[in-house]
Structure 1
Amino acid sequence: MKKHLALTLAASLLIPSAASIQAAPKNVVVDSVEFNGMDAPTTIEEMSKAYSNATIDVKYSDGTKKTLPLRYEKLFKSTDTFNMKGKQVPAGTPIDAQGNPIMDNSVPNDPVPFISDAPDSNSLLEPLNGNSGKLHLVSHYEYQTVDHSGSSAYGRVPASMTLTSLQQDKKTGNLTVAGVEKIDFAGTNGLWIPCNGSLSPWNTHLGSEEYEPDARIFEQEIGTDKDSTNVKAFANYYFGKEGMEKANPYWYGFVPEVIVHPNGKAKAVKHYSTGRFSKELMKMMPDSKTAYFGDDGAYTMMLMYVADKAKDLSSGTLYAAKFNQTGTENGGSGDLSWIKLGHATDKEIEKYITDGITFSDIFETSNEPKEGFSEIKTYANKQQVEYLKVKPGMEQAAAFLETRRYAATLGATSEFNKMEGLALNTADKKAYMAISDQSKGMEVNPTDPQDDIRLPKIKSGVTYELDLQASQKDRNGNKINSSYVAASMKGIIIGEDMAKADAYGNTAHPEKVANPDNLSYSDAMGTLFIGEDSGMHTNNYVWAYNTKTKKLSRVLSVPAGAEATGLMAADDRNGFAYIMSNYQHPGDELEGKSITAVDKEKLIETIDKEIGVNKSGDVGYITGLPSFTKAKHDKK
């Protein structure tokens, strides 16, 4: 009897009454969101700045709704100076192999530091273990548009990345800069044109090196004053007196990974086993092994990498896609099959380079069709038709140092044009790919060595959806060790070219995406964000595309002539959400545009006064988003 009573009493203490259940606080969280787009800018004031006056409708799990205003916040300009190792250095200034600012001596007796006007990729890292929730941001500085004299500096000057320490307001989430420092690439022989990038699932930054220098042309120019690849200029700036001894195109065209340690210090490594081509970015899949790449330029390829181990890019297998067209509607569609190129470790490929391998060590060449030689056309060698034969025993070197050329000899499709950003929709197992300009090799070209892609010309571009599948095999029937193999692709967001410019100078429909470049997907918002790199829109935009409702909304406008870059949706950073977004080269190429709606000269003058035409760019973010991790009742 006493035992039964004790159990009854214990149970009454463990099981709450109905009244206590009803009184318990209810965690009300975000159920869904919908963006309400902003109008395109119409005045000089609007056209000359980065801003957002879009809104977001938030529906909560208790059925209540709220409309929140969005705004753009600048963190810093690439011309802003910060204390770096005791010196005030502009954020966008590259450093040489000794860590010193690289100087621009293009104007006699007036040396100034180079300052990139092209901030690009951002990775807003998750708070580091043991770092008390502190946030860090890795940012690219893609190139220098012009030097101090006004001449083109593109590709000649080594590039750079910064690591920014951020302070986060615990109540509002607003970010401010605590410090900026340059990331050292001396251990990788410098950094070549870093374009877009991504945050890995294991919280490291994966960078890029696009428009890889052509080793065939470089070899032809050895011993001459020619430098059409820019490798000589790059090496002289970066290595100084040892420049010509260290000039080698094979060091560039890979994925740099930046690891930020809990103490806030960064280390950069390059992954040579990911292959060498015009890397726009590398996007990892949820298995932390499979990756896809943007391959920017003309006559490029879709490539896939499968690492041997999760969260380790030091060795893996590289594949190239064969496009099998299935339709032309909505931009186009096709099935994908995969050709295995080879397996390698970083150390194996790095050894080829340090041993001094050259293009002619890898390939035999012919100037005309010849038995045993493959006729190919790729981004390399200025998109000229080449007749190549891999030398015996050089298959691995060809696969990882001349990836596109080698893949083309095996029959992979080398006709993609301006393949830019990539994003991942985890829940639906879809990836998204931006084709910024659907033309050239992607059109019908019966005289090219291959004509796999025969799609309609859409200069303003198409964003494609890739269907990711498990249990896939390569062309030879061997299993691909990944559950995220792209099996097909179809257009989902299509630009609209216009026959003539409108009053604002737009040659693509202003209410549709033109020349998609950066892509970032928010799983929490079910939204694909798209940043433009367009000469067809006078002002470039960031768009939000709801993948369920198909609603497209303009959420940010950047200064006229600028490109929207650095796009990254960060769903949760200490309970706050952000859309990172930069812009680069403001005012670029406005002189040649037909603009009648506003005073074009006044517009250029305003941009130059407020920012600097081709002189600076902003690193910033869109704020005003709800929290997707904190309950509503916690946000009083």
Structure 2
Amino acid sequence: MTFRLNGKGKLALAMLSVMALAACDGDDGSDGAAGAQGPAGPQGPEGPAGADGSDGSNGSNGGGNASLMTPGLTRLATVPAGAEVTGAFATEDGDLFFNVQHPDSANSATDSDGKSFNHGTVGVLAGVNINQLPKHLVSVGVPDTEQERQTVQVAYGEYQVIAQTMDTFGGAMPEGLGTVLATDKSTVVASIDDPDFNGFVPTGENQGYLFTNWESIPGGMSRLKLNKNASSGYWSVDSNDVQMLDFGIYGTIANCFGSVSPWGTPLTSEEWGNQGDSTEEWNDPSLQTSRDALAMYIDPTATDADGASSFPNTYRYHYIVEITEPTSAEPKPVKHYTLGRFEHENSIVMPDQKTVYLSQDDTNGVLFKFVADTAADLSSGTLYGAKLTQDSGSFEPLTTGFDVQWVELAHGDNATIDGWIADFDGITTADFVEGQSNYLTDADAEAWAAGDANFPSVANGGGSTTAGMAMDDRIAFLESRKAARAKGATAEWRKFEGIYTNQKRAQEAVEGTDLVAGEDVSQAYVYFAIADMDNGMIDGEGDIQLSARVKDCGGVYRMPLLSGADAYSTNRIEPVVMGSTYRSTLDGALRCDVNALSQPDNVIVLDDGRLIIGEDGFQENNTLWMYDPSVND
């Protein structure tokens, strides 16, 4: 997730409100009282000294009292001021890639390689195998000096910069890294400072392609050919093989996090930029939406959507996009409409190559599952939404779990859904009528869920494009949240971020194979992060009714994977680790403790079961954490 004017990212004002959070040791307590005096007369021997007093409390930290480090957490790295941590990806060989997204443009300090961090940065933790770190680790300190605050600090290895926004690689990418061109292949429509997902696809020993998302409107994805020096552990970019991918005539929007499928294809996620639940606003001429930016991608001669040769169809965006043929000269993106249309943060495919879990990063979002008809083929299958039942009598986030029931929405295929999408291609602002919708509505979803034979009329709340038509399943794939809610699935999650599993651990636990060296894995999990446990999660209504104790700090959950006939499904969500708050002595406001999670954004799972968690919080310097779940199991 990235910085945006619509409030979904960190605003500079919010970051300025958080002071440098450096924990200080308290002073030693005073000596105990002297022993009792001897009897009168000649001075008796001095009594024994009293015991030392207890240590003082921790010193102030950003205006409040800092706690001890949350057990199990190790601060692997911090990123420069203004940045969030994105793109965590661990290769089979233990290389850990991660990015510095939208750092403060005023950062001027340089690292040991002379690199400054005032632009989006793609990098790797060089010189260390992340899968070979011992169990007991020491954290890197909270940045204290200006040089530490403005550069990447790591506990192990060295953060090597691979590329930064607008790098041209000696002219091989003349418009610069992160630049998106319109369909004429020459007009620049976006220069993006927000690298997000990384996915590495190996092509041989110590070489492969690094795919990186660039998160804006329109969105982008780069592919860089990398080589690693086996002796030094450092990486280099092959400037003869670099490119920004071509996403075709409609492009993509807000490419956020992602994953690499078990068959080796990157999956990029289209997140923000739509109208959420208010699709009827998309063609409202009085509103500013992302349609103008998309129109200028489609038609570089246009200055807005109304003047474009093709008015952008909102139903052509917000899907999972698979990069097929990833190592060919021209990788081929395929939008999988089957996986539903919503604000995708991430998708993760299970080892069966059919079951997919998907997160919706929005207010009142849904947890989705997809099951493909054929392994390694996401073009057809069945979409589900999760219905939650909260543990009875429990509302503390750290101890409250949920039972899960999967509600079937519909079966579909890309070709059929593409035909439904095309029905909305001709809609423009000229078709807008106040109080009505040219798109699918809640009334359409409710009629579909009730089994009605036809879409409702406009008078009964239906959208004008489908009013009176024979009912079909388009609502499930074009307005997936509306459909899930109408069917009874839980639509109350807030900022549902990255979702992930470790393929080896999952397969060993579910199928009984021996894939994890030195460990008998009997239970594996799908982990996910919730950055902001607010709104529908704490409003006291519906299926999720948690306390607001850590609402601004977030936490991580997991779903145990089932085996047997229900292989790779799940029926339970349980908390793993939460952020921690303290009351500021400066203004009385709650703050997220620097020694605990602060708005976890994305999470990946290593071979040994430990987690890598990237922050998108309000700290001056966000953290890349390692967390060991076994500490609290």
Of the candidates 316, 322, 328, which is equivalent to residue 395 of structure 2? Answer: 328
- 2:356 is the alignment partner of 1:282: no
TM-fit CA distance, 1:93: 1.0
Rounded Cα–Cα distance in structure 2 between residues aligned with 1:260 and 1:83 = 26
- 2:538 is the alignment partner of 1:443: yes
- 2:616 is the alignment partner of 1:549: no
Of the candidates 282, 293, 298, which is equivalent to residue 233 of structure 1? Answer: 293
Rounded Cα–Cα distance in structure 1 between residues aligned with 2:209 and 2:447 = 53
Rounded Cα–Cα distance in structure 2 between residues aligned with 1:163 and 1:225 = 37
Q: Classify 1:514/1:230 alpha carbon distance in 2 versus 1 (closer, same or farther; 3 Å).
A: same
Q: Classify 1:485/1:310 alpha carbon distance in 2 versus 1 (closer, same or farther; 3 Å).
A: same
Which residue in 2 is equivalent to 1:424?
501
Q: State whether residues 97 and 238 of structure 1, in contact with CA within 8 Å, keep that contact through their aligned partners in structure 2.
A: yes
Q: Classify 1:36/1:87 alpha carbon distance in 2 versus 1 (closer, same or farther; 3 Å).
A: closer
* 1:431-478 deviation per Cα after TM superposition (whole angstroms, max 9, x unaligned): 1110111111001344xxxx1110112210010011122467xxxxxx
Of the candidates 268, 283, 292, which is equivalent to residue 357 of structure 2? Answer: 292
Q: State whether residues 497 and 601 of structure 2, in contact with CA within 8 Å, keep that contact through their aligned partners in structure 1.
A: yes
TM-fit CA distance, 1:100: 2.4
TM-fit CA distance, 1:192: 0.4
User: Could you state the TM-score of these two structures normalised by the residue count of structure 2?
Assistant: 0.66
Specify the code of the residue in structure 1 equivalent to 2:359.
G
Rounded Cα–Cα distance in structure 2 between residues aligned with 1:493 and 1:196 = 21
Which residue in 1 is equivalent to 2:562?
469
Q: State whether residues 347 and 357 of structure 2, in contact with CA within 8 Å, keep that contact through their aligned partners in structure 1.
A: yes
Q: State whether residues 442 and 482 of structure 2, in contact with CA within 8 Å, keep that contact through their aligned partners in structure 1.
A: no
Aligned-pair identity in percent equals 29
Q: Classify 1:405/1:212 alpha carbon distance in 2 versus 1 (closer, same or farther; 3 Å).
A: farther
- 2:247 is the alignment partner of 1:185: yes
Specify the code of the residue in structure 2 equivalent to 1:116.
I
TM-fit CA distance, 1:277: 0.5
* 1:5-57 deviation per Cα after TM superposition (whole angstroms, max 9, x unaligned): xxxxxxxxxxxxxxxxxxxxxxxx969644321111111111111120x1xxx
Q: State whether residues 182 and 296 of structure 2, in contact with CA within 8 Å, keep that contact through their aligned partners in structure 1.
A: no
- 2:402 is the alignment partner of 1:319: no
Rounded Cα–Cα distance in structure 2 between residues aligned with 1:501 and 1:354 = 57
Q: State whether residues 204 and 258 of structure 1, in contact with CA within 8 Å, keep that contact through their aligned partners in structure 2.
A: yes
- 2:610 is the alignment partner of 1:531: no
Rounded Cα–Cα distance in structure 2 between residues aligned with 1:276 and 1:374 = 17
- 2:192 is the alignment partner of 1:116: yes
TM-fit CA distance, 1:76: 1.1
Rounded Cα–Cα distance in structure 2 between residues aligned with 1:200 and 1:373 = 32
- 2:151 is the alignment partner of 1:49: yes
Q: Classify 1:548/1:218 alpha carbon distance in 2 versus 1 (closer, same or farther; 3 Å).
A: closer
Rounded Cα–Cα distance in structure 2 between residues aligned with 1:548 and 1:515 = 22
Q: State whether residues 212 and 276 of structure 1, in contact with CA within 8 Å, keep that contact through their aligned partners in structure 2.
A: no
- 2:544 is the alignment partner of 1:453: yes
Q: State whether residues 279 and 439 of structure 2, in contact with CA within 8 Å, keep that contact through their aligned partners in structure 1.
A: no
Q: Classify 1:72/1:550 alpha carbon distance in 2 versus 1 (closer, same or farther; 3 Å).
A: farther
Specify the code of the residue in structure 2 equivalent to 1:50.
V
Of the candidates 199, 202, 212, which is equivalent to residue 139 of structure 1? Answer: 212
TM-fit CA distance, 1:501: 7.1
Rounded Cα–Cα distance in structure 1 between residues aligned with 2:160 and 2:385 = 40
TM-fit CA distance, 1:400: 0.2
TM-fit CA distance, 1:229: 2.8
* 1:170-222 deviation per Cα after TM superposition (whole angstroms, max 9, x unaligned): 223321111321000015x1010011011111111000001251388565564
Please give the secondary structure, in 2, of the residue aligned with 1:82. coil
Which residue in 2 is equivalent to 1:13?
none
Rounded Cα–Cα distance in structure 2 between residues aligned with 1:387 and 1:338 = 28
Q: State whether residues 332 and 490 of structure 1, in contact with CA within 8 Å, keep that contact through their aligned partners in structure 2.
A: yes
Rounded Cα–Cα distance in structure 1 between residues aligned with 2:270 and 2:207 = 29
Which residue in 1 is equivalent to 2:424?
356
TM-fit CA distance, 1:71: 2.0
Q: Classify 1:418/1:364 alpha carbon distance in 2 versus 1 (closer, same or farther; 3 Å).
A: closer
Which residue in 1 is equivalent to 2:169?
82
Which residue in 2 is equivalent to 1:206?
267
Which residue in 1 is equivalent to 2:367?
302
Rounded Cα–Cα distance in structure 2 between residues aligned with 1:371 and 1:43 = 57
Rounded Cα–Cα distance in structure 2 between residues aligned with 1:541 and 1:464 = 19
Which residue in 1 is equivalent to 2:109?
none
Rounded Cα–Cα distance in structure 2 between residues aligned with 1:267 and 1:173 = 31
TM-fit CA distance, 1:492: 1.1
Please give the secondary structure, in 2, of the residue aligned with 1:72. strand
Q: State whether residues 284 and 291 of structure 1, in contact with CA within 8 Å, keep that contact through their aligned partners in structure 2.
A: yes
Of the candidates 415, 434, 447, which is equivalent to residue 347 of structure 1? Answer: 415
Of the candidates 257, 278, 292, which is equivalent to residue 196 of structure 1? Answer: 257
TM-fit CA distance, 1:550: 4.8
Q: Classify 1:226/1:234 alpha carbon distance in 2 versus 1 (closer, same or farther; 3 Å).
A: farther
Which residue in 2 is equivalent to 1:612?
none
Q: State whether residues 373 and 388 of structure 1, in contact with CA within 8 Å, keep that contact through their aligned partners in structure 2.
A: no
Structure 2: tracts of 5 or more residues without a match: 1-130, 303-307, 428-436, 451-459, 506-520
Of the candidates 71, 88, 92, which is equivalent to residue 158 of structure 2? Answer: 71
Q: State whether residues 579 and 597 of structure 2, in contact with CA within 8 Å, keep that contact through their aligned partners in structure 1.
A: yes
Which residue in 2 is equivalent to 1:153?
none
TM-fit CA distance, 1:332: 2.5
Q: State whether residues 322 and 334 of structure 2, in contact with CA within 8 Å, keep that contact through their aligned partners in structure 1.
A: yes
TM-fit CA distance, 1:78: 1.1
Q: Classify 1:254/1:213 alpha carbon distance in 2 versus 1 (closer, same or farther; 3 Å).
A: same
Rounded Cα–Cα distance in structure 2 between residues aligned with 1:287 and 1:403 = 24
Rounded Cα–Cα distance in structure 2 between residues aligned with 1:317 and 1:274 = 8
- 2:174 is the alignment partner of 1:97: no
Q: Classify 1:284/1:374 alpha carbon distance in 2 versus 1 (closer, same or farther; 3 Å).
A: closer
Q: State whether residues 231 and 247 of structure 1, in contact with CA within 8 Å, keep that contact through their aligned partners in structure 2.
A: yes
TM-fit CA distance, 1:263: 4.2
Rounded Cα–Cα distance in structure 2 between residues aligned with 1:511 and 1:215 = 34
Q: Classify 1:538/1:32 alpha carbon distance in 2 versus 1 (closer, same or farther; 3 Å).
A: closer
Rounded Cα–Cα distance in structure 2 between residues aligned with 1:89 and 1:83 = 11
Q: Classify 1:39/1:175 alpha carbon distance in 2 versus 1 (closer, same or farther; 3 Å).
A: same
Specify the code of the residue in structure 1 equivalent to 2:248.
A
* 1:249-305 deviation per Cα after TM superposition (whole angstroms, max 9, x unaligned): 001010111134444542211111111001001111111111111210100000001
- Number of residues paired by the alignment? 450
Specify the code of the residue in structure 2 equivalent to 1:443.
I
Specify the code of the residue in structure 1 equivalent to 2:227.
Q
Rounded Cα–Cα distance in structure 2 between residues aligned with 1:41 and 1:340 = 48
Please give the secondary structure, in 1, of the residue aligned with 2:482. helix
* 1:107-135 deviation per Cα after TM superposition (whole angstroms, max 9, x unaligned): xxxxxxx421111000011x23xx67631
Q: State whether residues 232 and 244 of structure 1, in contact with CA within 8 Å, keep that contact through their aligned partners in structure 2.
A: no
Rounded Cα–Cα distance in structure 1 between residues aligned with 2:335 and 2:261 = 14
Rounded Cα–Cα distance in structure 2 between residues aligned with 1:335 and 1:411 = 15
Please give the secondary structure, in 2, of the residue aligned with 1:422. strand
Higher strand share: 1
Q: Classify 1:373/1:342 alpha carbon distance in 2 versus 1 (closer, same or farther; 3 Å).
A: closer
Rounded Cα–Cα distance in structure 1 between residues aligned with 2:559 and 2:611 = 13
Please give the secondary structure, in 1, of the residue aligned with 2:473. helix
Specify the code of the residue in structure 1 equivalent to 2:476.
A
Q: Classify 1:331/1:228 alpha carbon distance in 2 versus 1 (closer, same or farther; 3 Å).
A: farther
> How does 1:361-400 map onto structure 2 within 5 Å?
362-363=440-441, 365=443, 393-400=470-477
TM-fit CA distance, 1:241: 3.9
State the Cα RMSD in Å: 3.1
Specify the code of the residue in structure 1 equivalent to 2:630.
K
Q: Classify 1:281/1:207 alpha carbon distance in 2 versus 1 (closer, same or farther; 3 Å).
A: same
Q: State whether residues 321 and 335 of structure 2, in contact with CA within 8 Å, keep that contact through their aligned partners in structure 1.
A: yes
Q: Select between 325-334 and 195-204 the one with higher mean Cα deviation.
A: 325-334
